[in-house]
């Protein structure tokens, strides 16, 4: 696969934490073990595995928050942005939606005020929110609206690659379906790629093109959604599928 077709390569990455315990000097805990995969241009790559297996640690390692002890993380596009399960973690409760969406552009410094306002309104429209939301604070919005705002905040700097860590897990099923639809539409319209982290295999089946299965910090199986769901090769994948039925 040529480099133009990739947005990210993770090569033999081993990483973990040193900051446990008293005075953050606890023993080193290895979390990721020899992790290798690519994210291809335009794809939605699912990452599944039980709680505590290292999915969020992988996201942090891709973002550079956790440094790999071995191996390499190679970005072929702008740095990815993140969407989280709880949009509150991405949205400052004290500020309006307009402020939240405009701030990264203000920091970036390239656009004047009218252009920033135009971009904010365009992004709000793309994520399916009315202009009345601009003045609202996060607490005044529904869970689904808040997740739309955090998606807009992630996209306002026009990244090519998004990491979504359980982005629909806190939403009820109808709203989940709307947000999954939005993510599909945005991928098409903005030519995005996603790493989509979820413990919900049903959601992964609906949304993803390919899937990574992680167990105890290792990728035990990867393949297309059809491969993984219809012809799982690894025992652990079979167990996860059986548990989800």
Ligand X SMILES: Nc1ncnc2c1ncn2[C@@H]1O[C@H](COP(=O)(O)OP(=O)(O)OP(=O)(O)O)[C@@H](O)[C@H]1O
Nearer CB in complex with ligand X: 123/212:
212
Q: In the chain, which residue ranges form alpha helices assigned H by DSSP?
A: 55-63, 97-108, 113-126, 143-155, 173-190, 201-207, 225-230, 235-244
For residues 191 and 44, what is the distance between their CA atoms, to the nearest angstrom? 11
**Least distance from ligand X to the Cβ atom of residue 168, Å:** 14
> Could you say which DSSP state residue 236 is in?
H
Only segment of 15-23, 88-96, 112-120, 138-146 that touches ligand X (CB under 6 A): 15-23
Nearer CB in complex with ligand X: 5/26:
26
CB 214 within 8 A of CB 220: yes
Nearer CB in complex with ligand X: 33/55:
55
Using the rule CB under 6 A, is 25 a contact of ligand X?
no
Binding mask 76-115 for ligand X (x = CB under 6 A): ----------------------------------------
Q: What token pair was written down for 65?
A: 């928050």
Strand order in the sheet with 29-40: 29-40, 6-17, 70-75
Q: How many residues contact ligand X, by CB under 6 A?
A: 14
Residue of 6, 13, 31, 90 interacting with ligand X (CB under 6 A): 31
> Beta-carbon neighbour count of residue 54 at 10 Å?
25
For residues 189 and 172, what is the distance between their CA atoms, to the nearest angstrom? 26
**Least distance from ligand X to the Cβ atom of residue 240, Å:** 12
Please, which of residues 32-71 interact with ligand X by CB under 6 A? 49, 51-57
Nearer CB in complex with ligand X: 98/221:
221
**Least distance from ligand X to the Cβ atom of residue 189, Å:** 29
For residues 114 and 67, what is the distance between their CA atoms, to the nearest angstrom? 39
CB 82 within 8 A of CB 154: yes
For residues 97 and 120, what is the distance between their CA atoms, to the nearest angstrom? 9
Residue of 128, 177, 199, 206 interacting with ligand X (CB under 6 A): 199
Nearer CB in complex with ligand X: 45/141:
45
**Least distance from ligand X to the Cβ atom of residue 33, Å:** 12
Residues near ligand X (CB under 6 A) are 17, 19-20, 29, 31, 49, 51-57, 199
């Amino acid at each position: 696969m040529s480099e133009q077709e990739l947005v990210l390569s993770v090569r033999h990455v081993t990483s973990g934490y040193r900051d446990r315990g008293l005075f953050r000097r606890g023993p080193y805990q290895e979390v990721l073990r020899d992790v290798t995969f690519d994210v291809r241009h335009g794809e939605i790559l699912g990452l599944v595995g039980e709680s505590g297996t290292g999915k969020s640690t992988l996201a942090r390692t891709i973002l550079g928050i956790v440094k790999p002890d071995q191996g390499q993380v190679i970005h072929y596009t702008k740095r990815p942005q993140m969407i989280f399960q709880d949009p509150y973690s991405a949205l400052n409760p004290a500020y309006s939606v307009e402020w939240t969406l405009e701030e990264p552009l203000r920091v970036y410094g390239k656009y004047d005020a009218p252009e920033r306002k135009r971009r904010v309104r365009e992004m709000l429209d793309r994520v399916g929110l009315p202009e009345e939301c601009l003045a609202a604070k996060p607490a005044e919005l529904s869970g689904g609206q808040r997740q739309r705002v955090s998606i807009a905040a992630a996209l306002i700097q026009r990244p090519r690659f998004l990491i979504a860590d359980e982005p629909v897990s806190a939403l009820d099923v109808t709203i989940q379906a709307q947000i999954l639809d939005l993510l599909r539409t945005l991928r098409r319209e903005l030519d995005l790629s996603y790493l989509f982290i979820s413990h919900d295999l049903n959601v992964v089946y609906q949304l993803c093109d390919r899937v990574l299965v992680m167990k105890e910090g290792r990728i035990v199986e990867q393949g297309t959604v059809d491969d993984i769901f219809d012809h799982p090769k690894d025992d652990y994948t079979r167990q996860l599928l059986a548990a989800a039925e």
